[in-house]
Structure 1
Amino acid sequence: MSALKVVEICAGAGGQAVGLERAGFEHALAVELDPNACETLRKNRPEWKVVQGDVADEEVWRPEDYKGVSLLAGGVPCPPFTIAGKQLGATDERDLFAWAVKLAERVQPKALLLENVRGLSANRFSAYRQHVLDTLRDFGYVAEWRLLQASDFGVPQLRPRFVLVALQDEYAEYFHWPEPLPGLAPTVGETLKDLMAANGWEGAEEWAAKADGIAPTIVGGSKKHGGADLGPSRAKAAWEALGVDAWGIANDAPAPGFEPATSKKGERRGGPKLTSRMAARIQGFSDDWEFEGGKTTGYRQIGNAFPPPVAKEVGLSIARALNKKASRRERAEITHDPVYRLLRGRTQALTAEQITALLQKEDVVMGVPDVERHLSHLGRDFNIETVERKQGVPSYLLRDFKAFIGQEGHERHELFKANKAKIS
């Protein structure tokens, strides 16, 4: 295959970067906000050009310098879409998804790869997703969304990621989503037995036999919250069932004679805690990948990463498409939000009844109350103009997308400055 270059934004500690490297991509640039993650990238790949700072700051890097690169990739911040958060979407100052899509117009990569949390696949964001697809279509790309399960690609973890891949028309018909690898993902016990036994703990083998499932999603958390642990209550209970104490991260593997800790109430916990190295292995990092910073910052880098094995498989599919080494296929267009598509570009306001009637002509069955609820929903990410008619029946016009896409006067700039220390 010919040499393929990638520019990666929001590169983090290198999960996606490592996977893309394994797929044959060479990094022309990696941009990341967190200084510890930048040091992680520099330590492990000193030959890469790594730039630290706000990726949307024109003083940090010049996108036009990389025009025509093979791939523009990134794992933009997930809090705007996470189910555990407020799901502010386009109105969250951390949202860079729409900006990254707009960036494709400036960089004009042959392919675009963006990944995020499963929450972006929810009905709440159907119009957001449709806007992304339609915008990329305007830029000359064919784009698709797909929910990928990390455990389908050998990662011993329940880690669903919602992935967007877009390719220029010339390459789009050669792209195929990666198929799940044969066989089951290894269990937590199989993955970590040697690390658990590294300091001579006699119970490692017995522990490994009982840790016979795959892990819940490892959560890196944000700077807004406390130290490192393995997630909320439900995740802690799942770790407990695997014989892992999820209330923190250990500095070292258990020593000879180790006994599980007890809680303040005297309850016996599941077993040993994971070390950061164990968490990194569950994410799919190789053991020689080192993380800079303290235990909490290092673990946050690990927990927020895109598993390298998943990134590798998606990267291989993109590489085959760019080199036209795959069979051609027909790309079926999927409509994520019929109301948004109906209103997009219209200059005449429509009532809910009119919207319902037009949708029925397209074989989309939605009643007037459904349309009204959908319009209210739509208004969270888009400006909706309501026009009152003489009969008192409102009609609606779809106006601007609220998201930050690079506007100089957008409120994102001030909010970002105010909250920068808490953004991860």
Structure 2
Amino acid sequence: MTSYKVVEICAGAGGQSLGLEKAGFDHALAVELDNNAANTLEENRPSWIVKRGDVANPETWNPDEYHGVSLLAGGVPCPPFTIAGKQLGATDERDLFAWAVGLTDRVRPDALLLENVRGLSMPRFSGYRQHVLDTLASFGYIAEWRLLQASDFGVPQLRPRFVLVALKEEFAPYFAWPEPKDTPLTVGEALYDLMSANGWDAREWARNAYKIAPTIVGGSKKHGGADLGPTRAKRAWAAMGVDALGVANDAPLPGQKFEVGPKLTCDMVARIQGWSAEYPWTFTGRKTTKYRQIGNAFPPPVAAAVGKSIMKALKREGIRSERVPADHDAIYLTLRDTGDFVSTARLLRAGGREMDPAELERRISLLKRDFDIDTLETTSGNQYKLSGFKAFVGQEGHVRHHLFQKNKSRIS
């Protein structure tokens, strides 16, 4: 039988890992920066090779040793793209998305899977996304983006994830995105057994907690302890009878009363993230450490669904269809295709009817956050030229190295 090997970078505590294993992939390697998450991987899968450290550091692992694996996968850091953050994108020292895309040409896997937050799907990053598609096309891969909702795959949580799948041209026609198939449990249905584990009567609570959970926020080393998210999420939890100001050590005791409701335990949060009897997993470390591992994960059922679709394509079992990569940003495309200075008038025409000078300036300013764009002032108006990509793609002298080392203790 053919063994389908996966190399997983930025593996975290194993949400994507477990899902890909369920899809039939065999881990050749998992690379993870955080020691606590690496401990969890080794606790659950002692036979796996787990490398600890900065995935972009050649001292951590040698990508050449894994040339030709079936799948290169990862959940690279989210802060460069998160809506709640500064959305620094290519200029954030934690941004490894472009580097991971470039790694594809070195490892030459049959398929690539990268997932990130919904923020990467926003107009702010349209040029960045197009650059990713262009890069992969130059390597001989056909790539697509898709925003997937965890609740469409049985996970009792509103957790959108932006997913990139790229396949070699021979496999791409057989790929199809997984179709939504499961009706998720409500929070009450999902957690009733765990909430009543110590004898607390959870029946009324479960009836009240009849909704899908808001997105679990794993938090970061920078911002301290565990809680269930920002103010809006806390209000949503409170409406379901859950105290979101922290995480409990144990399920409530018989007769225990609450002003808002009980807090969730780490086991309960893991259930909300998609771990269950079907997806069993053990988390190591203290409570806050466990919560961060769980909260920052890719839900295993979603990873399994995407992994199964990729596996079908690699086995050529899908229904063959031609795949055409989508274009994202007319302004970026015009600058890219011209390769020289482009007049404001031409860019306005490229932008279509809704593009006016003010909107064009806004779009150029957004592109300048990720790309080097030269400006030439002329009597007839400004002209612009696309001259470089700011993201870290492996350059030895890139500012990313200094900033990464400086902030390493806070990166999660």
Q: TM bucket by the smaller chain?
A: over 0.9
Which whole-Å CA distance do the structure 2 matches of 1:194 and 1:286 have between them? 12
Counterpart of 2:376 in structure 1 is 387
**Alpha-carbon distance, 1:392 to partner:** 6.1
Which whole-Å CA distance do the structure 2 matches of 1:79 and 1:99 have between them? 15
CA contact (8 A) 2:13 2:37 kept: yes
Amino acid of the structure 2 residue aligned with 1:205:
R
Counterpart of 1:405 in structure 2 is 393
**Alpha-carbon distance, 1:292 to partner:** 1.1
CA contact (8 A) 2:218 2:296 kept: yes
Deviations 1:136-177 (A, max 9, x none): 001101000000000000000000000000001000010000
Counterpart of 1:125 in structure 2 is 125
Which whole-Å CA distance do the structure 1 matches of 2:360 and 2:192 have between them? 54
Counterpart of 1:239 in structure 2 is 237
Which whole-Å CA distance do the structure 1 matches of 2:30 and 2:388 have between them? 31
TM-score, structure 2 as length reference: 0.97
**Aligned pairs for 1:104-115 within 5 A:** 104-115=104-115
Out of 250, 253, 256, the position equivalent to 2:254 is 256
Out of 226, 229, 249, the position equivalent to 1:228 is 226
**Alpha-carbon distance, 1:345 to partner:** 4.9
CA contact (8 A) 2:133 2:325 kept: no
- 1:277 aligned onto 2:267: yes
**Aligned pairs for 1:298-309 within 5 A:** 298-309=290-301
Out of 319, 322, 326, the position equivalent to 2:314 is 322
CA contact (8 A) 1:353 1:368 kept: no
**Aligned pairs for 1:69-218 within 5 A:** 69-182=69-182, 184-202=183-201, 204-218=202-216
Which whole-Å CA distance do the structure 1 matches of 2:151 and 2:79 have between them? 23
Which whole-Å CA distance do the structure 1 matches of 2:354 and 2:198 have between them? 63
Counterpart of 1:21 in structure 2 is 21
**Alpha-carbon distance, 1:329 to partner:** 1.3
- 1:372 aligned onto 2:365: no
How many residue pairs were aligned? 410
CA contact (8 A) 2:143 2:166 kept: yes
CA contact (8 A) 1:285 1:307 kept: yes
**Alpha-carbon distance, 1:365 to partner:** 5.6
Which whole-Å CA distance do the structure 1 matches of 2:214 and 2:33 have between them? 27
**Alpha-carbon distance, 1:274 to partner:** 0.4
Counterpart of 1:331 in structure 2 is 323
SS in 2 for 1:41: helix
Counterpart of 2:283 in structure 1 is 291
Amino acid of the structure 2 residue aligned with 1:310:
V
State, as a whole percentage, how many aligned pairs show the same letter. Answer: 66
The unaligned stretches of length 5 or more in structure 2 are none
Residues 1:166 and 1:364: Cα distance change in structure 2 (over 3 Å): farther
CA contact (8 A) 1:243 1:272 kept: yes
**Alpha-carbon distance, 1:364 to partner:** 7.2
Question: RMSD between aligned alpha carbons?
Answer: 1.3
Amino acid of the structure 2 residue aligned with 1:301:
Q
SS in 2 for 1:344: helix
CA contact (8 A) 1:6 1:69 kept: yes
Counterpart of 2:403 in structure 1 is 415
**Alpha-carbon distance, 1:368 to partner:** 3.5
Which whole-Å CA distance do the structure 2 matches of 1:257 and 1:7 have between them? 49
Deviations 1:217-271 (A, max 9, x none): 11101111121110110000010111111011000000111111xxxxxxx32x1
**Alpha-carbon distance, 1:388 to partner:** 2.4
TM-score, structure 1 as length reference: 0.94
The unaligned stretches of length 5 or more in structure 1 are 261-267
